[in-house]
């Protein structure tokens, strides 16, 4: 093992320790939604999740000691079942105690095991899987009976966030109303674009 490998192992152990410590703390405000992805190279595909949550008035927690004022929040991490199984275990095992109500987990490649392993370990916290690529779909959704995972289509992290908010909205009318408003906006958007296309014609439409 090189010095770098050793340092990286320590860095993983430190993050694991932080999750276990957080699980022990009694905090008034904790993130509602957890976003995890197998690599930071998944960020372009996973950004839709934070965009949708932000559109619904969620803020991102980047410091547990200084959480945002917003009522609904989320947090993001890179966790890999294959590269850092211990980190995955620490993240998922402590998810409920750390206050997470729903997890959105995205991974790519043909062996996208992060979402399903997170679902198994974090149970009964619901996990919404995002296959980052088309080739990841089967490995994300293929769960045996008794090991549930909800998933969206490849790359649809925006929808994963809407589903996460739907779960939370059953307990929070305020969030329910924001979801309905966002839904209505999208519906109006179709009418606007339809009118513009019709009135400008296909040549001038941009």
Ligand X SMILES: Nc1c(C(=O)O)ncn1[C@@H]1O[C@H](COP(=O)(O)O)[C@@H](O)[C@H]1O
Q: Give contact residues for ligand X (rule: CB under 6 A).
A: 37-39, 41-42, 80-83, 107-109, 111-114, 132
33: nearest Cα among 149, 161, 170: 161
Cβ nearer to ligand X, comparing 39 with 159: 39
Cβ nearer to ligand X, comparing 111 with 194: 111
Binding residues for substrate: 39, 42, 83
Cβ nearer to ligand X, comparing 73 with 139: 139
Question: How many Cα atoms sit within 13 Å of 44 on the Cβ side?
Answer: 3
Element (H, E) at 130: strand 127-131
- Tell the smallest beta-carbon distance from residue 53 to ligand X (Å): 20
Contact 136, 154 (CB under 8 A): yes
163: nearest Cα among 56, 43, 45, 42: 56
- Tell the smallest beta-carbon distance from residue 108 to ligand X (Å): 2
11: nearest Cα among 71, 83, 73: 83
- Tell the smallest beta-carbon distance from residue 126 to ligand X (Å): 19
């Amino acid at each position: 093992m090189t010095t770098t490998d050793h340092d990286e192992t320590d860095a993983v152990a430190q993050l694991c320790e932080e999750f276990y410590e957080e699980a022990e703390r009694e905090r008034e405000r904790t993130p509602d939604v957890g976003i995890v992805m197998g690599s930071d190279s998944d960020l372009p595909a996973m950004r839709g999740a934070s965009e949708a949550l932000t559109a619904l008035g969620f803020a991102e927690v980047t410091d547990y000691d200084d959480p945002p004022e917003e009522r609904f929040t989320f947090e993001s991490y890179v966790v890999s079942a294959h590269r850092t199984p211990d980190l995955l275990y620490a993240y998922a095992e402590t998810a409920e105690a750390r206050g997470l109500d729903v997890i959105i987990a995205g991974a790519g490649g043909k062996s996208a095991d992060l979402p399903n392993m997170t679902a198994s370990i974090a149970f009964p916290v619901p996990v919404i899987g995002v296959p980052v690529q088309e080739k990841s779909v089967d490995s994300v959704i293929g769960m045996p009976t008794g090991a549930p995972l909800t998933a969206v289509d490849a790359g649809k992290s925006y929808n994963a966030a809407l589903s996460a908010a739907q779960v939370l909205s059953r307990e929070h009318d305020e969030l329910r109303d924001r979801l309905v408003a966002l839904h209505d906006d999208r519906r109006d958007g179709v009418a606007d674009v339809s009118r513009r296309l019709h009135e400008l014609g296909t040549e001038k439409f941009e």
